[in-house]
Structure 1
Amino acid sequence: MNNSSQGKATIPFTEIFDLKSGMSPSRPSTKRLLSQMKGMYTDKAAFDSDVANGDPVVYEFYELSLPHDPGELLFGTSIVYPGKVGEEYYMTKGHFHTILETGEVYYCLSGQGFMLMENPEGDVRIEEFRPGAAVYVPPRYAHRSINSGNEPLVTFFVFRADAGHDYGTIETKGYRKCVVERDGKPEVIDNERWKA
């Protein structure tokens, strides 16, 4: 089927991503091993031990290859696996967009968790992920998905295709807050490793 106004082929969404698993049968994913998350977790000893004892995949994402041109939308799915490093839940690295004034929408397909958001001025927001819930990340906010459940957290995301990703700021400074498990429940605490 062709888009008559643009002459571009249209691919059905269900051929790109399986709606239950978030995986793509025809496209490879980008996987993030725990070792690639160095400096992201507060418990360095637990991190080093977990890397030495298997270096698990913490998350992966599938992204549709589209032109990164103004006016285009980039979308895909993210899968954060269940687990913890010490008492801190598995999470994505998190990022700002290179074009800081970029918003993003995430839609939770399965699992449970949180979206941790923070802007350069220090405002911190956290929203809950549950199946069927959409989370809006406003412009200027770094964002990180966190799996607080016992099954994969699968989300669909969409943002302007030319926005780019700035991982370096988070790798250098971290987030002001983190989400840990205390007494069997998620709790938001100050991140002792955050750098001003």
Structure 2
Amino acid sequence: MTETNVKPFNLDFDLVTGLSKSTKSTKRHLSKMKGMYADDAAFAAAVQSGDPLVYEFYELDLPETSGNLLFGTSIVYPGKVGNEYYMTKGHFHTILETGEVYYCLSGEGAMLLENPEGDWDLQRFIPGQAVYVPPRYAHRSINLGTEPLVTFFTFRADAGHDYGTIETKGYRKLVIEKDGKPEIIDNPKWK
């Protein structure tokens, strides 16, 4: 029998996200989403009764320079605040002319899109479907189902994130559950 120089598999990855265990992770509990939901009383009650984990995302830790692509996985958990579905905070890119692609791995949801001029759209997430976020659009993932919504995303590494605009103004539209189905409504808090 001859000896071979075979290296063992590197099993240093997460079976849920598919990313290296050394990948940067960010977790957002409900308390970090103050002002994002329309029903302040339901928000306060949910934070008081356990401050649930709403979403988390994992990004490969690469230099944020032009020419690189950042990518990772986002997981939005099922749940609601009042009648409004769990969602990500949402963001613009600091370099506003940046597009982004999301690919749904599992779960059911939607991507809410809005540009500074007021145009908006809602794209459905189902497993195996990609959603393209055009340049100049803020975007927010929303879990409309009963299982975690897991998506893969990628964008130019130097694009940056502008969460402040969303924290200050919000989105013009919200997605709520009405009669057991998602419905789009005007945001009563939009500034």
TM over 0.5, shorter chain = yes
Residue 158 (structure 2) pairs with residue 158 (structure 1): no
Q: Is residue 23–residue 62 contact of structure 1 (8 Å, CA) maintained in 2?
A: no
Q: Which of residues 84, 88, 99 is equivalent to 1:88?
A: 84
Partner of 1:133: 129
1:87-107: per-residue Cα shift (whole Å, max 9, x none)?
A: 000000000000000000000
CA distance in 2, matches of 1:132, 1:85: 28
Q: Residue 185 of structure 1 aligns to which amino acid in structure 2?
A: K
Shift of 1:173: 0.1
Partner of 1:37: 33
Identity %: 73
Poorly superposed stretches of 4+, deviation over 6 Å:
none
1:140-185: per-residue Cα shift (whole Å, max 9, x none)?
A: 0000000000000000000000000000000000000010000000
Q: 1:191 to 1:170 in 2, by over 3 A?
A: same
Shift of 1:29: 1.9
| Structure 2: tracts of 5 or more residues without a match | 1-8
Shift of 1:26: 1.0
CA distance in 1, matches of 2:113, 2:136: 9
User: What are the equivalent positions in structure 2 for 1:76-155 lying under 5 Å apart?
Assistant: 76-155=72-151
Q: Is residue 16–residue 64 contact of structure 1 (8 Å, CA) maintained in 2?
A: no
Q: Residue 22 of structure 1 aligns to which amino acid in structure 2?
A: T
Q: Residue 64 of structure 1 aligns to which amino acid in structure 2?
A: L
Q: Is residue 19–residue 60 contact of structure 2 (8 Å, CA) maintained in 1?
A: no
Across the aligned residues of Structure 1 and Structure 2, the Cα RMSD in angstroms comes to 1.5
| Structure 1: tracts of 5 or more residues without a match | 1-11
The DSSP-based 3-state class of the residue aligned with 1:145 is strand
Between the two proteins, the alignment pairs up a number of residues equal to 181
Partner of 2:5: none
- TM-score, structure 2 length as denominator? 0.91
- TM-score, structure 1 length as denominator? 0.89
